[in-house]
Each structure stands twice: as structure tokens, then as C-alpha cells.
Chain A
Amino acid sequence: MPRYAMVIDQSRCIGCMACVVACKRENDVPPENYRTRVLEIVQGTYPTLTTEMRSELCNHCDNAPCVSICPTGASHHEEDGTVQIDRKKCVGCKACITSCPYNVRYINEEHGYADKCSFCQHRLREGKKPACVATCVGGSRIFGDLDDPESEVSKILRRVGHRVLKKEVGTGPNIYYINQYPKRA
């Protein structure tokens, strides 16, 4: 069984939002909702500034609070390690939304169920990469199988320093952030 993860090379992200729109189209995300976003976080004072480009999406956490809190079992882990929502079981109680430390879930108002990034499971089944990864103009989003030592994600995580968001909350996220280029002179 694969164990899917995403590595995000923040140095390569150019803030173009191709990922965001690709995701909306691919997954019919309702107006004003998003499964992924790209933040441009600038710090410092003129003219000494730094920027962090940070793509955020569901972390498909190993210890997912949204799964443990879900009263109906709609939010669950699949064998490939991803966290998915069984729409038929979801009653729209929003418990998952409040429990997620990453603020990546929303309610699909039209149908009443909770929703979020699925790692484009339907595409994975067809042998395609997730939509946001396939179109990432900067090549910042890298996707693959951590159980395959030869996959690009495995190789990268062995080689370069990485971090996850809010490590301290112990959710065991599967989105890894790297920053591959030398800091400014």
C-alpha cells in the first residue's frame, strides 16, 4: 500500500495561484471555498524584508483530530494513508472543522457535507498526480509515496531538512515543507 505525502519546496513557489484554480476546477469547490491556498508572508522593515511563500492544504495527518472527533465515522483514514470524508455518512455537524488545527475544512453549503482536500484521490486512481501538483508552475508541489524509497518525496526527505506545520500539536502531518535555495546574501 502506498503512503501518500506532499513536499512543498517553498523556494520554488512564485505565488501564481495556478494550483488554487486547478483545484477548484478539478474538485468543483463551491464559490468562496478553497481546498488549498497560498500565503505570501512578508516580514521585516523596508528595505530589509523576507518572504515565506506557504501553500496550505489538508495535512492528511496520521493522528487526525478530525477523524477522532467525527461522531459518524464519515471522516476516516483510508489504506493509502489519506484522510477522506464519506459524504453519505457526514451530517454536517462541523465538529471536524473546529477540531482541525490547520483550518482547511469547509461545509459544502449546497449539499451539507464537510469537505476538504482529498489528495485528488480520483486522479491517483487513474495514475495521475493531484491537479495542483500537475499544474504547479514553479514546480513547488511534489507528490508521491513515502513507502517507496525511490519516490521523489522519499528521496527529498532523506536528503534535505524539512518541517511540518504545528508539529507541537502532534497531529503527524504529511505535508512537508522544504526551502532549498540559499538565503539571500
Chain B
Amino acid sequence: MAFSRRNFLKYAAMSAGGAVLADTPFISAEARAKAEGGNVKYVPTSCEMCFWKCGAVAKVVDGKVVKLEGNPFHPQSRGKLCARGQAGIGQLYDEDRLKHPMILDGPRGEGKYRKASWDEALTLVAEKMKAIAEKHGPEAIAMMSHGSPGDYFTNVLKAMGSRNIAFPSFAQCKGIRDVAWELTFGHKPGSSCERVDMENSRVIVLLGTHLGENMHNSQNQEFAEAVSRGAKIICVDPRYSTAASKSAFWLPIKPGTDTALLLAWINIVISEELYDKEYVEKYTVGFDEVKEAVAEYTPEWAAQETELPMRQIVEAVRELCRYAPNVVVHPGRHYSWYGNDTQRARAVAILNALLGTWGRKGGMWLPAKAKFASFNDGNPAYPEASKPPVIKGNFPFAGGEGVTQALRDTTINGKPYPIKAWLVAGTNLMKSLPDQRLTREAIDGLDFFVAIDLFPTETVMLADVILPECTYLERHDGLFKIKTREAGVAIRQPAVEPMYETKPAWWIGSELCKKLGLKEYAVKGDGMDAWEDRMRRQAEAWGVDFEQLSKHTGYVTIPDSEKPYITEDNPPVFGTFSEKIELYSEELEGEGFDPVPQYEPVEQPPKNMFRLIYGRSPVHTFSRTINTQWLWELHKENEVWLNKKEAERLGIKNGQYVVLENQDGIRCNRIKVKATERIRQDCVYMVHGFGHNAPRLSRANKSGADDQQLISKYIEDPITGGTGMRVNFVKIIKEA
């Protein structure tokens, strides 16, 4: 279902009829406001409570945002917002926001700051950055970021000559998966969203993917649609998740053994000749090698390894094959589990290829066909990097988004050159990187640390200078290229003026360029309209109507870009060396890695300890939203899920507070036990992001326990540098 002209007409018809209740508040934001009269304004924009970036419409009355609703035209929201999207107003009006620039006034970490003007703060940042670049070279300045502010500071660093820029979304999340799919298909499994055609799937396999709890709006809409159409869900998860509760097959797998299951499935698909022969013949290379390599992975063996009944393993995959190719093995998202994760993602990709799901209805849709004219607004090319960046560590397939912990390592050990300053925008590194001791050590050794953020998080409160960004409801960003089944363009624009002395990140980045003597990289023109003017030029370059975006629909479709399935005149294009799907990867082989995934067992918890696994709450985005009114109210603290029998054995009651201690003797805040049948006996589970150690977050501080604190051990994936974080074991200590 695409939101293009036909939907526009549909909504127009709905509202003309009058009697029909519309799901959606508007046809055109401007027209809707006019019809309602008074002081009402509707502003189409893009949500940033998470990074799905749904289209949202802000209702503004007398200069206050009173309601947010989903934009019906935007394919990521389809007229709806999730709980977090609905609660965006809570972020905007949160009293705990950073309100003005601050300069550290005392030792780092003690949290003593003095208020500063923007001019003073930016002058200081520029001076420090210049001094460090002169003394050590520009590469001594590194940046880490998440979300929209990243672009503006990437610009600053590149203009200075540093390429030491990394995003936790790579090594701590989905980068591993992207690399594996690029090696196999020559494409990531999606950019704006995973290209899964769940709406039309007959069978959907989820491996540790918690749809429902992992709230990506349109994807969950399609999942619910699939469930209600009777699609069979095969859910592989040690925990009975919400998605598991919707499934025909719940496979409560032993943690860390997913690759064993996948390889056995591939073996069954091949040996029982259930794969798509024509498709494999036409589009893939390396089938025979795969066949040979997986022959040893029998269902009997997998049953032992995974602790799943053999019958279940076999029946599930046969069910999957029965409906192929209108099925999908979901590529997943958060992938940094065990340190051998690229190969697990490769196995998922190979299984999809054998079933012929790529480019098939109900499988993976083909990338939208659209070219956007390149647009850099006449800024000059960046200077060459002063020295090769260290963001790829020793990982041959680390992607351009960079390996954050490689930057951290270099910061600590100074090899191969010193890193002396960090610029951190929109990410709480203490909570996104494993081993907080190292993050703290790196920060303590810095000559200069500047944070750009919305809230006084534990990371922000270690910075020398804090620059307060305004929220997404107060700023321009983008324009955003949105690639779903169709390509489109979406806008972010302010619903209200920035509050306090906060500023949009584009302005902060641009002013910093000017102060650094790099005016040619700054946004053209002065004043707060400069970015909007740039957006207009960008819209023109891309051939989209800016007025339509900003005043009416907030999203426009690129015509004829939607060609989701393979047809005779729409053949798939694979961006691999062979231009085919590489079941056997010569690229991996060339770097000394297994060209076909092989199984490597992972370390098991010692007696009386549990493996710590973690996941998501549908009402929170990592640690970013715990403090947000309504969301905090709904989910104030996390619980540790413990199998009921284990709880009985340990004499722990449901609801009792305990403390977890990991293999390194690190203890977390107290946390409530959820004694439940919904989890295996060998692991415990908690929602990530809680347990802030940030006194200025009045609600979130000390609420619940911090999984990241207990993740003091991590194993790096040798292919991509992804940090396997499900390798920590905890014991449960009953609180005195």
C-alpha cells in the first residue's frame, strides 16, 4: 500500500462524504486549519522519537503543540503514530531539557557548570578544536552521533580534515546485518526500513526480532495485518515475546545457537529439494559449495545444539517452504549479539535466497527506483583526510558508518595516533557502548569533549561544553529521502519556535564552521531562515514541490518509483562482484573468513549464572525516552524476567527487588523480578535503557537497572567489528 495520489483522492473522498469518520485529521494541513478556524495550525513534519522518522502532523493552538497525529500520506506512519510519537509533546515540554549552553566549572564528572552565551560557548569550542587540530592534526578530533544532528557535525569534521566519525548504529546494532546482506545480495536489506513485504507474506520468520515490542510503526502495522490475514509466524526466541504469542511456531531456542538452526534449515531446504530451483539457477552463484558445507548440519544435530525438538525444527521449515516464495525470513535489526554475527546474518540472507524471496510478493521487495540529483548547495569539496581514519579498526568489512569502539580504543591507547577531542551529538555513549569503564576512561583522558543534545544525560554531564539542541518539533532538518516500496521525500519543519536558548543542530554546526574559519562550509545566508532556504533549493534540485511538502502533505511520492517485484521488464539488480546473489562469498574467503557460514558454539553460563539478554519496550527508544512524561508513567522501571521454576528454586518471589552481579563483579541498581513462564531457564531478560545515572533527569534517574552497566564484556565480530553483547552472565543477589 503506497501513499500516492490514489490515497490522496481516497482521503479527499472520505472527508467530502462527511458522514464517514476519518482516521486522519487532514487532507491538506493548511486547508484543515482554515476549515477549523481560530488559532489552530496544523504542521506536517517528521517524528524523531525514534529513527523510523514517521510523518507526523502537529496540531498547534495558540503557539502550543497540543496533539501529534500520524501523517496519512507518509508510508512510515500511514496516519498513525506509536506511543512515543504520540508523546513527542512530552519531550518538547520536558522541564529537564538542556536550556542554554553550559561550560564546565570544576572537575569533569562533578556536574558543575556555568551558563554561557552561544557566542562564548561556540568561540570556546572552536578555539579548543583549532588548538587540538594544530597540535595533533585534525584527525585527533572524533565524532560520534545518532539521528539527525549527525549530518551537520559530520560536515564540520570533514571540513577540518578528520574522518574519525562513527555511529553506534553500526557496530552496536544493524551494521553487521547490512554488511552480510551487501556481501550476499549487493544491497542492504533496507535503508529507511527493512524491505519486508509482510503485508503479503504467507509465512514470516522472526529470529530474535520482537515486533510489537520493537516499535517501528509501519512494520508493526504490516505485521498485525499479516497476523490477521492468517499468515503463519515462526518465532525463534528464548523468550515468549509479544510476537511469539502471535505465532504458529514458537521455537524457544537456546541463546547463541541460532546459526545452528539456520544451517540445519538450509540443509533441509537443499537436501529435501525445497528450494526455488529456477531462481537459484538464474540468480545465484555458489549453490554447490553451500550444499556441501551444510551437509553436516543435520536436524538431529541442530536439535541437540539448540535444545529444540527436532520435529519442530523440521516442521517449521517445511511450512516455510510450502508457501515460498511468498515468505520472508526477517533480516532483523539489532544484530550485535555474540561476536560471530555477520555469519548468522549471512545464513539468514542465504536462506532467503534459496527460497527466492528477494523481489517476490510477500518476500523482500526490490529497492524503489529513483535517482535524486546530488545536492550540496555549492559547498566546496572536503579536503583530503589528514591521516587515514581509525574508524574501521582491524575489521576488513567495517562499513562507512564506523566502529565506535575503535575510536574509543584509539582514544585510550593513542595508537596509531592520538585522539584528543570528542564531539558527541544525540547519543548517550555511556548507555550505547558496552563496557562503561572504557567509555569513562576514554572520556577522562580527553583534552576536550563537547556534547550536543537535548537532555542532561550521564554522557552529556561529562562534557566540557554542552550545547543544547532544540527538539524535532522546533527545527528544520532534511529534506529526507524516504525509501519504502516507493521513493518519496518528507519534510521536518518546526511546529513551534525553539524554547529557552536552544538551537537547531544545523545552526550550531553552521556557526561552528564560521568560527573555525570554514565559512565556505556553513549554510548560505545568515539568520534562522537560512536552512529553510536551503531546503527550498534542495527541493528544486530534486524536482519536488516545497509548498506541497511544507503546507499540505508533508510527504510527496516520486512517481513511478515503485517496482517491488521481479517481472520480465523489472529484473533484479545485484550489486555484488558477480552481479548475482553470492551464496558462497569469495569476498569473505579473500579475507580469510568462512565463505559459507559455519557453526561456532558460544560460551555457556557457568553454574548458578544466567545469560543476560535484553530487548525493547514499545513505549521507549533506548534510553532516550525514559524521562518523557506519559512514557515514563507507563513504563517507569524495567524488570528482570526470570523463569518461574528458577525463581522458586532461588526462593525469589514475583515482584521482589534483587540485584544482578555479572562475571566481572559489577552490580546493577536494584531491579524487580518478573517470575514468568515466558523465558527459558538459562537466561534472564531486561528492557534496555533504564537505570539512568543522571540526577538532572528528574523522572528517569535511578529508575530501574542499566543492562549496559552489566555488559562489561563484549566480543568483537572479526568481519565487521560488531560488538557481541549477549555474552555476559549474571547471578541474582537477593537484596538484604
Contact surface of A with B, Cβ cutoff 8 Å: 9, 11-18, 20-22, 24-26, 31-32, 40, 42, 44-47, 49-51, 53, 124, 126-129, 131, 133-140, 143-144, 180-182, 184-185
B230 touches A182 (CB 8 A): yes
Q: Which among A9, A32, A127 is the interface contact of B15 at CB below 8 angstroms?
A: A127
B634 touches A127 (CB 8 A): no
User: Which listed segment binds A: B213-221, B282-290, B383-391, B650-658?
Assistant: B213-221
A31 touches B633 (CB 8 A): yes
A21 touches B212 (CB 8 A): no
A139 contacts which chain B residues (CB < 8 A)?
221, 224-225, 228
Q: How far is the CA of A50 from the CA of B677 in the complex (A)?
A: 11
Q: Which among A16, A127, A134 is the interface contact of B220 at CB below 8 angstroms?
A: A16
Q: How far is the CA of A32 from the CA of B20 in the complex (A)?
A: 34
User: Which listed segment binds A: B21-29, B131-139, B435-443, B446-454?
Assistant: B21-29
Min CB distance, A40 to chain B, in Å? 7
B87 touches A25 (CB 8 A): yes
Given A128-B25, A135-B80, A185-B677 contact (CB < 8 Å): no
Min CB distance, A15 to chain B, in Å? 5
Min CB distance, A80 to chain B, in Å? 12
Instruction: Rank and list the top 6 A-B pairs by shortest CB-CB distance, nearest first.
Output: A51-B245, A138-B224, A14-B212, A21-B86, A21-B83, A16-B618
Does B223 lie at the interface of the complex (its beta carbon under 8 Å from any beta carbon of A)? yes
- For A18, A20, A129, which residue has the most chain B Cβ atoms within 10 angstroms? A18
Interface of B is mostly: mixed
Min CB distance, A135 to chain B, in Å? 5
A135 contacts which chain B residues (CB < 8 A)?
69-70, 79-82, 86
Min CB distance, A44 to chain B, in Å? 7
A50 touches B221 (CB 8 A): no
A-B contacts, 18 of them at CB < 8 A, read: A11-B246, A12-B224, A13-B224, A14-B224, A17-B634, A18-B80, A25-B66, A25-B86, A26-B67, A47-B250, A51-B240, A51-B245, A53-B242, A129-B21, A131-B67, A135-B80, A137-B224, A144-B21
B212 contacts which chain A residues (CB < 8 A)?
14-16
Q: Which among A14, A49, A137, A185 is the interface contact of B249 at CB below 8 angstroms?
A: A185
Given A124-B21, A184-B247, 11 more contacts at CB 8 Å?
Answer: A9-B228, A14-B211, A17-B83, A20-B634, A25-B66, A134-B69, A135-B70, A138-B220, A181-B228, A181-B230, A181-B246
Q: How far is the CA of A17 from the CA of B250 in the complex (A)?
A: 24
B618 touches A129 (CB 8 A): no
Enumerate B392-408 residues with CB–CB distance to A below 8 Å.
Answer: none
A21 contacts which chain B residues (CB < 8 A)?
83-84, 86-87, 619, 630-631, 634
Does B537 lie at the interface of the complex (its beta carbon under 8 Å from any beta carbon of A)? no
A180 contacts which chain B residues (CB < 8 A)?
228
Given A16-B212, A40-B242, A127-B221 contact (CB < 8 Å): no
Given A15-B212, A21-B630, A21-B634, A136-B80 contact (CB < 8 Å): yes
Min CB distance, B516 to chain A, in Å? 42
B67 contacts which chain A residues (CB < 8 A)?
25-26, 131
Q: How far is the CA of A16 from the CA of B84 in the complex (A)?
A: 10
Q: How far is the CA of A15 from the CA of B246 in the complex (A)?
A: 11
Min CB distance, A178 to chain B, in Å? 10
Does B352 lie at the interface of the complex (its beta carbon under 8 Å from any beta carbon of A)? no
Once A and B bind, how many residue pairs between them come within 8 Å at the CB atom?
Answer: 153
B250 contacts which chain A residues (CB < 8 A)?
47, 49
Does B294 lie at the interface of the complex (its beta carbon under 8 Å from any beta carbon of A)? no
A53 contacts which chain B residues (CB < 8 A)?
242, 245
Does B627 lie at the interface of the complex (its beta carbon under 8 Å from any beta carbon of A)? no
Which residue of chain A lies nearest to B635 when distances are taken between CB atoms in the complex?
A17
Enumerate B225-263 residues with CB–CB distance to A below 8 Å.
Answer: 225, 227-230, 232, 240, 242-243, 245-250, 252
Q: How far is the CA of A40 from the CA of B243 in the complex (A)?
A: 12
Min CB distance, A144 to chain B, in Å? 7
Min CB distance, B640 to chain A, in Å? 17
A134 contacts which chain B residues (CB < 8 A)?
23-25, 69-70, 79-80
B21 touches A143 (CB 8 A): yes
Interface residues contributed by chain B, number (CB under 8 Å):
62
Enumerate B339-362 residues with CB–CB distance to A below 8 Å.
Answer: none
Min CB distance, B204 to chain A, in Å? 13
Which residue of chain A lies nearest to B218 when distances are taken between CB atoms in the complex?
A137
Q: How far is the CA of A143 from the CA of B83 in the complex (A)?
A: 20
A127 touches B22 (CB 8 A): yes
A18 touches B643 (CB 8 A): no
Does B89 lie at the interface of the complex (its beta carbon under 8 Å from any beta carbon of A)? yes
Given A49-B240, A135-B69, A16-B15 contact (CB < 8 Å): no
Does B515 lie at the interface of the complex (its beta carbon under 8 Å from any beta carbon of A)? no
Q: How far is the CA of A185 from the CA of B235 in the complex (A)?
A: 13
Q: How far is the CA of A24 from the CA of B248 in the complex (A)?
A: 34
Does B678 lie at the interface of the complex (its beta carbon under 8 Å from any beta carbon of A)? yes
B215 touches A16 (CB 8 A): yes
Does B416 lie at the interface of the complex (its beta carbon under 8 Å from any beta carbon of A)? no
Which residue of chain A lies nearest to B87 when distances are taken between CB atoms in the complex?
A21
Does B18 lie at the interface of the complex (its beta carbon under 8 Å from any beta carbon of A)? yes
B221 touches A137 (CB 8 A): yes
A46 touches B21 (CB 8 A): no
A128 contacts which chain B residues (CB < 8 A)?
21-22, 25
Min CB distance, B7 to chain A, in Å? 16
Which residue of chain B lies nearest to A136 when distances are taken between CB atoms in the complex?
B80
Q: How far is the CA of A181 from the CA of B231 in the complex (A)?
A: 9
Q: How far is the CA of A115 from the CA of B225 in the complex (A)?
A: 33
Per-residue contact bits, chain B 66-103, to A (CB 8 Å; 1 contact, 0 not): 11111000000001111111110100000000000000
A47 touches B252 (CB 8 A): yes
Q: Which among B21, B228, B678 is the interface contact of A11 at CB below 8 angstroms?
A: B228
Q: How far is the CA of A54 from the CA of B397 in the complex (A)?
A: 46
Q: How far is the CA of A44 from the CA of B644 in the complex (A)?
A: 12
Given A46-B678, A181-B230, A20-B83 contact (CB < 8 Å): yes
Per-residue contact bits, chain B 1-37, to A (CB 8 Å; 1 contact, 0 not): 0000000000000010010111111000000000010
Given A42-B240, A42-B677, A14-B223 contact (CB < 8 Å): yes
Min CB distance, A171 to chain B, in Å? 25
Enumerate B196-212 residues with CB–CB distance to A below 8 Å.
Answer: 211-212
Min CB distance, B389 to chain A, in Å? 39
